[in-house]
Structure 1
């Protein structure tokens, strides 16, 4: 029996180590699903928009700046882990109608942004550079941070460091680490390069927080949004979208009510 067990160990341990090594090496492909937009891509969403390039360390981030006259402020929007501005820009008409301009940025390797994502620290540094770009054009009391899915982690950390007027989180995770542990419980946590622990930052956020989460979310469980909400120390409005999934919350009237209330209550 003992020799058999030892033979199994000599087979399974190297195999397990090899699988873990592959997951560590290629985890960007498991987390980020960018679309590339060729130069000259036309971005048309029925409202005025300008293309801008925001310089970051070793790359340039491509952003869309949705303009409007006599704006009350700006919404800085961080999108999810798939696609590009070519499709994400479709949410802009809904949000700018409340009197705000909007800046939406593609991460490294997405759309027409250059470079590739290599670390969580780099993601946060890029997000901070975009925030500083926006802060040069608007006072912080006119900046609304909006994080969608993956972008919720970046927006939450920015709100913990800076002092925007409002933080809106749509379909937010408690942490990417929590999601990874559910999907790959056999993988050691230290191998995860992008834990994005929103729950560790959201307690430091001082501005009002709005969380919108579908009760039938098949990607980030509704319970994650509830857990994250319990960590909030600032004024909180939590909106469960009954029957909502991960990518369809804009089709529910409660979503529009939540955004309307949140933005109209700002000075």
Structure 2
């Protein structure tokens, strides 16, 4: 037979057990956020990018060195034939080798393309530690490449994870066009969908596109697939409601990872680039 003291201890444990399980789960989310959000694929230092018009470049940031690809339009009779720069911020998996899949499209666009790998992605060194660091890295990369394009068009392009980074950048620097492909309102909102029991304060990467988008002065165009189950099109609809001047282009046949394969998407993207 249990003593009254042991019974009280057992009863207290049973009362506290749900809280202890919740606290342990929240602690796991806190400590493993980078593993849950970022899926980098490293590249060997010897990995070669063979296109003659695409150079590898490096951006020095505190504690790391970021790798990027820079496609440039040709020079004819000593004159560069470029309309400007597209500064491309990719999604949360892979590296520039997996995202740089349609170079001919960018050549036809008439724009140069600068595509950055975040810390730990591709040939980039270091590790992502928090949102402030990630945003600062993006600013530093922009500050390195933008002076080359004074007097030309500046386009900031963000896809999936990169859409939140691109929106932030567009609030900090002059730009002509912000292109958001499969964007989210915030990582915090997505976390609440998948982990509703996790307090927002636990997240080190809230990435509030919804709070920053109203401060963007440039034209904003949103591309989103209606079959996207990872970031449902409702996120894009909310962003357009927040920024009524934004153009929302819907693609009924597109999901999350295949939108770039649709001719309708590439045609719409080209039209927006040529509209400047």
Which secondary structure state, in structure 1, belongs to the residue aligned with residue 149 of structure 2?
Answer: coil
Structure 2 residue 82 is the aligned partner of structure 1 residue 71: yes
**2:223–2:249 Cα contact (<8 Å) kept:** yes
Task: Provide the TM-score with structure 1 as the length reference.
Answer: 0.94
Give the match for residue 240 of structure 1: 250
Give the match for residue 24 of structure 2: 18
Alignment of 1:1-267 (within 5 A): 6-44=12-50, 48-69=53-74, 70-139=81-150, 141-232=152-243, 235-266=245-276
Which secondary structure state, in structure 2, belongs to the residue aligned with residue 76 of structure 1?
Answer: strand
**1:47–1:93 Cα contact (<8 Å) kept:** no
Deviations 1:170-205 (A, max 9, x none): 000111111000000011111011010000000000
**2:83–2:152 Cα contact (<8 Å) kept:** no
Do the aligned partners of residues 130 and 24 (structure 1) sit closer, same or farther apart at CA in structure 2, a change above 3 Å counting?
same
| Distance (whole Å) between structure 1 residues aligned to residue 200 and residue 11 of structure 2 | 27
Query: Structure 1: where are the runs of 5+ without partners?
Result: none
- Bigger drift between 80-89 and 224-233 goes to 224-233
CA-CA distance at 1:47 after TM superposition = 6.2
| Distance (whole Å) between structure 2 residues aligned to residue 193 and residue 15 of structure 1 | 21
Give the match for residue 3 of structure 2: none
Cα RMSD after superposing both structures: 1.7
Q: Indicate the structure (1 or 2) with the bigger Cα radius of gyration.
A: 2
Task: Provide the TM-score with structure 2 as the length reference.
Answer: 0.91
Query: Structure 2: where are the runs of 5+ without partners?
Result: 1-6, 75-80
